[in-house]
Amino acid sequence: MAVPSAMAFPRMNRRRFVQGLVSSAAATWAGSGLLAQSGGERPAPAQGATVLNPRGRVPVSLIIDDSTCLVNLNRFAMPQFNDTFAGANPVYQRDWRDWPVEIPDAFVREFGEWAATNSVKGKYSIVPYPACVGRLDRGLPGWSQAELRDSLEVVRKVMLPNWDIHPEMITHTRVIDLSTGQPFADTSPRFMENWEWTTGRSVDEIAQYLGYALRILRDVGLPCEGITTPGGFGNRALPQLSQASLEAVRDVFHAEVPHYFRHVIDEGTDSVAPRVENAQGLGGTDPRCVVSLIACTGDWTGGWDNTEPVGADRFITADGQAGRLVEVIQRSEPALLLAHWTGVYWNGQKRGLHIFQEVVRRMHQRFDHLHWMKLSELARYAAARELTLIRADDSRVQLQAPFACPEFTLRIPRRSGSAPTLVGAEHRELREVNRPLDLGPNSWHQDAANLTVCFSLPRGTSELRWG
């Protein structure tokens, strides 16, 4: 994601390009335009109840792109990008020869342990055949098989518990011929993952390509519920990308709620809430949808190419009063931060990591109602929020849910009577808490006007009852 999209359209800088893209996606979401990603089916609007954020908090998540095992991806990608544009863009002529070939596992551990200590969760890419250096399921020339095995084990042990793993396509550079496993001979933008390959391709062709990437990760023991697009992948095939993500992730991993990361909206007032797309079969035994997660920041930590970082203030200022994260959190939308692993490590100077450490410290100092979540958790919550049929009257709330969802949180007008009980496959008493901030699984809180209930929403039919 968010790599040098600008190159395909040299007159636009990256910001304007991304903005243009996102505006068009937002517009098509509203129902206009030829590239509309269909939202698909929706239930009738909720009656007598409002779905809140999980636990009434604001979800936050960290998106790491361009990571993989051992290989410093962009050290190898940059000369390939330079070839594609025949040396016409100085962006691809930085000092890549001086960059280390490896981002060591010790750094993965350091990052993962810092994140775990601070409750930080998110998405971590594992590019399966990074910059054509080698395949994670076969071997990385330059490293021993034991080193590759150990590196995969670090990802499984340190990262998997708190991070979704995504393929960022197969190589993030050259397009692979799926019949041979080798790159196509053509190195023009038509055969680079970052640029034009998806233009004009069908859902099936794109889904097969995604499936190939996902299978490599499956074969090395890394489960996935979503994918990340490299650079401009899918730019001119947005509806096909959405449907292909749904099909490929379901096919390879049987994920109930597949998701993908493609879009960045790093300024302005357009919504950055997840978009639930291509929903169908909501009343049946095989409901389907796919969720598009949207980052709300640019990479202000050192980029894909070790550039001078914009720094922490752009995310949140030292006094906690301004910055993009503050804007988004104050409007109660999920705030998804973006960075590239190359710049997080920054040639061993760890400049991106240090910025994130400061950003997270400031976030936690300013806000007490944040809820760190993985992208798959955000996707499931968005699907349940959009697609559950909800009818409330004086004595009960009836729910028909195509997908189960932990920490499902509803607000209804205050009512007299005893504590609510969840009646689904089993009865569950809910406990009252004194402060909204104490809302957790299977609890409720009331103030003068409203009652807020947080519970594990079962798939299918269930009810909240009083008395």
What is the binding site for Zn ion (CB under 5 A)? Answer: 3, 65-66, 230
State the nearest-atom distance from the C-beta of 232 to Zn ion, in Å.
10
Token digits of residue 75: 């050290």
Which amino acid, one-letter code, is at 402? P
Q: Which residue, 3 or 252, has its beta carbon nearer to Zn ion? A: 3
Length of the chain: 467
Q: Which residue, 305 or 333, has its beta carbon nearer to Zn ion? A: 305
Which residue sits closest to Zn ion, CB atoms considered? 65
State the nearest-atom distance from the C-beta of 450 to Zn ion, in Å.
43
Q: Which residue, 3 or 326, has its beta carbon nearer to Zn ion? A: 3
Q: Which residue, 85 or 341, has its beta carbon nearer to Zn ion? A: 341
Give backbone dihedrals phi and psi of 313, rounded to 5 degrees, phi first.
-60, -35
Q: Given strand 288-295, what is the order of strands in its sheet?
A: 226-228, 259-264, 288-295, 275-280
Q: Which residue, 3 or 355, has its beta carbon nearer to Zn ion? A: 3
State the nearest-atom distance from the C-beta of 110 to Zn ion, in Å.
22
Q: Which residue, 230 or 298, has its beta carbon nearer to Zn ion? A: 230
Determine the Cα–Cα distance for residues 288 and 279; give it in Å rounded to an integer.
5
Q: Which residue, 28 or 307, has its beta carbon nearer to Zn ion? A: 307
Is 77:65 a contact under the CB 8 Å cutoff? no
State the nearest-atom distance from the C-beta of 5 to Zn ion, in Å.
10
State the nearest-atom distance from the C-beta of 241 to Zn ion, in Å.
15
Is 284:294 a contact under the CB 8 Å cutoff? no
State the nearest-atom distance from the C-beta of 1 to Zn ion, in Å.
5
State the nearest-atom distance from the C-beta of 13 to Zn ion, in Å.
18
Determine the Cα–Cα distance for residues 387 and 100; give it in Å rounded to an integer.
47
Q: Which residue, 77 or 363, has its beta carbon nearer to Zn ion? A: 77
Q: Which residue, 66 or 164, has its beta carbon nearer to Zn ion? A: 66
State the nearest-atom distance from the C-beta of 36 to Zn ion, in Å.
26
Q: Which of 201, 186, 168 is nearest to 84 (CA)?
A: 186
State the nearest-atom distance from the C-beta of 443 to Zn ion, in Å.
40
Q: Which residue, 66 or 377, has its beta carbon nearer to Zn ion? A: 66
State the nearest-atom distance from the C-beta of 54 to Zn ion, in Å.
28
Q: Which residue, 191 or 304, has its beta carbon nearer to Zn ion? A: 304
State the nearest-atom distance from the C-beta of 66 to Zn ion, in Å.
4
